[in-house]
């Protein structure tokens, strides 16, 4: 059941968002920034979850582990084999998230500035 959910999540959400985001960046269209931000958020959260779970796995060197915990215990070498490939999948969405957040905030501040100018211009016309 979990595999079907993950496959559905990939096909319905992540793949279309990736394609739309890539197209939006290629065309330099700010309308796609929110899609990219959502994609980066989803990728960052899911990868961070995997990363944290790999860090929290019990250490095989811990002598106080019971039998069930020893089954899931890993050595530090194995832990880094798990974490190493995850690092790019953690860093790239984090950079994407920050980049899109800054771009969206710039657009919002430009829009707010234009709205303020329009309000001042409208007020000046009323005074005349």
Contact criterion met (CB below 8 Å) for 99 and 91 = no
Domain-located, residue 117:
no
Q: Which domain holds residue 96?
A: 2-100
Does any domain span residue 35?
Answer: yes
Residue 77's pLDDT is what? 92
Q: Residue 7: its pLDDT value, please?
A: 65
Q: How confident is the model at residue 2 (pLDDT cuts 50, 70, 90)?
A: low
* Structural domains counted in the chain: 1
Which of 60, 85, 87 is CA-nearest to residue 75? 60
Q: What is the pLDDT of residues 21-46, one digit of tens each?
A: 889 888 989 988 988 898 899 889 98
What pLDDT digit, counting tens, does each position of 10-21 carry?
677 778 888 888
Q: Is residue 86 part of a domain?
A: yes
Q: Would you say residue 112 lies in a domain?
A: no
pTM of the model: 0.73
Choose the weakest-confidence range: 8-17, 56-65, 78-87: 8-17
Q: Does 66 fall in a domain? A: yes
Residue 87 lies in a domain: yes
Radius of gyration, alpha carbons of the chain: 23
pLDDT band at 128 (very low <50, low <70, confident <90, very high): low
Predicted pLDDT of residue 25: 86
Name the residue among 40, 12, 20, 13 with its Cα closest to residue 104: 40
- Domain assignment present for residue 31? The answer is yes
């Amino acid at each position: 059941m979990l595999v079907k959910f993950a496959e559905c999540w990939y096909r319905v959400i992540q793949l279309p968002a990736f394609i739309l985001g890539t197209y939006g960046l290629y065309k330099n269209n700010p309308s796609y920034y929110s899609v990219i931000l959502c994609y980066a958020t989803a990728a960052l959260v899911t990868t961070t979850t995997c990363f944290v779970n790999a860090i929290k796995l019990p250490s095989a060197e811990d002598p106080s582990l019971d039998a069930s915990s020893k089954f899931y215990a890993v050595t530090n070498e194995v832990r880094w084999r798990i974490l190493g490939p995850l690092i790019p999948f953690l860093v790239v969405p984090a950079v994407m998230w920050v980049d899109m957040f800054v771009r969206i905030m710039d657009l919002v501040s430009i829009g707010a500035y234009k709205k303020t100018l329009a309000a001042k211009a409208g007020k000046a016309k009323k005074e005349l």
